[in-house]
């Protein structure tokens, strides 16, 4: 078991840079394909870049699943890695780890945790909004009756959808476009929830800072204090003063 774990760790370490390159390659290739609306040789080149990136992630995931023990447990504990295989650009979120390391030097553990959540939340929201805008434009641009025709319109649509505002000035008319919209709506609910919880936690900490003396004591604290006072009030035993207990 220890040897297999070491082999898995060596594989993960060796694949860190190739996966990051493949992630950015996928994002660049897909962006070029959609925003440039490429045709002919361009669509072939971008298609190859995207396919190679996907192949790298599929091979990596399959190798790690094969090396893991027990495999079923590894699978259920690494569902995020499966999501990265579907959308390789999510791997780019690991770049934010450097910022979260800097945030861990905050004054308190709570502040550090909130900073890390805020960094990952903001990064994930921007990345999902960008990729969602690309996917929506790709699905809608050439559809009959579509109203999302430019990348600017698609970004605006993705922003209001992710923010759960939904003005209705732009909307998808194709089935793939509506699937993208459903995914962004679900992600938007999660992002809004994280932001709200983080802000509420920060406000509670700020309000309660420096007011520890005003908080009522718990029953456990009162009980412990009573026991200490009882021990101090009990006179010491005189047994053993003359060495024979009399």
- How many percent of the chain have pLDDT more than 70? 72
Q: Which residues contact 154 (CB under 8 A, 6 or more apart)?
A: 133, 134, 136, 137, 140, 148, 170
pLDDT over 80 (residue 1): no
Residue range 26-31: mean pLDDT, rounded: 93
The better pLDDT of the pair 24, 198 is held by: 24
- Comparing CA positions, the residue from 148, 156, 158 lying closest to residue 125 is 158
Half-sphere exposure of 220 (CA within 13 A, CB side): 0
What stretch of H or E contains 121? helix 109-140
What letter does residue 216 receive in the DSSP assignment?
P
Per-residue confidence band for 58, with pLDDT thresholds at 50, 70 and 90: very high
Distances in Å between the Cα of 45 and the Cα atoms of 2, 23, 134 are 43, 16, 18
- Least confidently predicted of 54-68, 151-165, 214-228: 214-228
pLDDT over 60 (residue 103): no
Per-residue confidence band for 209, with pLDDT thresholds at 50, 70 and 90: low
Distances in Å between the Cα of 89 and the Cα atoms of 25, 110, 123, 134 are 9, 29, 12, 12
| Confidence at residue 139, expressed as pLDDT on a 0 to 100 scale | 92
* Tens-place pLDDT, residues 108-121: 556 666 666 777 77
Which pTM was predicted? 0.71
- Compute the mean pLDDT over every residue in the chain, rounded to the nearest whole number: 80
* Tens-place pLDDT, residues 168-203: 889 999 999 999 999 888 888 877 777 677 666 666
């Amino acid at each position: 078991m220890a040897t297999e774990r070491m082999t898995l760790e060596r594989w993960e370490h060796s694949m860190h840079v190739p996966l990051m390159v493949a992630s950015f390659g996928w994002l660049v290739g897909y962006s070029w394909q959609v925003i440039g609306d490429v045709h002919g040789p361009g669509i072939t080149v971008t298609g190859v870049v995207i396919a190679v990136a996907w192949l790298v992630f599929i091979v990596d995931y399959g190798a790690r699943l094969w090396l893991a023990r027990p495999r079923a447990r590894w699978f259920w504990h690494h569902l995020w890695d499966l999501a990265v295989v579907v959308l390789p650009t999510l791997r780019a979120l690991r770049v934010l780890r450097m910022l979260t390391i800097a945030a861990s030097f905050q004054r308190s553990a709570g502040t550090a945790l909130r900073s890390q959540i805020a960094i990952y939340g903001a990064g994930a929201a921007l990345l999902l909004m960008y990729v969602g805008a690309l996917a929506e434009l790709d699905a809608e641009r050439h559809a009959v009756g579509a109203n999302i025709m430019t990348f600017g319109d698609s970004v605006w649509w993705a922003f209001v959808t992710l923010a759960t505002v939904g003005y209705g000035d732009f909307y998808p008319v194709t089935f793939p476009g509506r699937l993208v919209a459903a995914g962004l709506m679900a992600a938007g609910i999660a992002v809004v929830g994280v932001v709200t919880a983080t802000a509420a936690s920060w406000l509670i900490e700020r309000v309660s800072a420096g007011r520890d003396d005003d908080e009522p004591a718990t029953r456990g604290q009162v009980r412990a204090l009573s026991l200490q006072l009882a021990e101090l009030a009990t006179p010491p035993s005189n047994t053993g003063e003359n060495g024979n207990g009399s």
